[in-house]
Amino acid sequence: MAENSSGDTTSVVQVLDSTLESADTAETIVVKAAEEMGFDEDTRYQIGMALREAVVNAVVHGNCYNEHKKVRLSVSREPDRLRILVTDEGKGFEPSSVPDPLAQENLMNQSGRGIFLMKAFMDEFDVRKADPKGTEFKLVKYLNQKS
């Protein structure tokens, strides 16, 4: 795990294997950071949930459990927010291709709720193509703000 401090921001980068256990590892790292920043328990739960969804997405859909592909977790503690980046090495991903899980015809689908939950639990959420390849999820939670 690489740690870097710049001004009022402390960043940690962890490279994770494409396994489901990485979601546990990532959750531990992020929830610990959130606790140290002063987020309350309910908010830490929300952050942990969103983060797990992002890592699972990277492992399962991005890297397809490929042991040669990694998931990069970046956790930045800024004065007023926690910023998380989860990046896979997959083929890329088009968010608009995910059906709306709240639409009546999709309500009873077994899957497809991960992105919705990430958006629901975080203050900022973004998906973009990573450079040189893969997908990057950005999750941001503001301090001292009720969600």
Partner 1 sequence: MSIKLTTRKVGDVTVIDSVGRITLGEGASSFRDAIRDLVANGDKKLLLNLAEVTYIDSSGIGELVSGFTTVTNQGGSLKLLHLTKRIQDLLQITKLYTVFEVFDDEAEAVRSFA
Placement of tokens 């256990």 in the chain: 21
Binding to partner 1 by CB under 8 A, coded x per residue (else -) over 54-83, reads --x---x-----------------------
φ and ψ at 107, to 5 degrees? -55, -35
Is 146 near partner 1 (CB under 8 A)?
no
Task: Burial-class residue 55 by CB neighbours within 10 Å (0-12, 13-18, 19+).
Answer: buried
Is 45 near partner 1 (CB under 8 A)?
yes
- Find the part of the chain contacting partner 1 (CB under 8 A) among 5-13, 70-78, 79-87, 113-121: 113-121
Q: Would you say 13 and 30 are in contact if contact means Cβ atoms under 8 Å apart?
A: no
* Residue ranges of E strands in 2-143: 2-6, 9-17, 70-78, 81-87, 124-129, 135-142
Among 4, 9, 28, 109, binds partner 1 (CB under 8 A): 109
3 state SS of 61 = helix
Binding to partner 1 by CB under 8 A, coded x per residue (else -) over 122-141, reads --------------------
Count residues near partner 1 (CB under 8 A).
Answer: 20
Is 35 near partner 1 (CB under 8 A)?
no
3 state SS of 68 = coil
Is 116 near partner 1 (CB under 8 A)?
yes
Q: How is residue 34 written in tokens?
A: 């959130």
Is 97 near partner 1 (CB under 8 A)?
no
Provide the binding-site residues for partner 1, judged by CB under 8 A: 20, 23, 45, 49, 52-53, 56, 60, 101-102, 107-111, 113-114, 116-117, 120
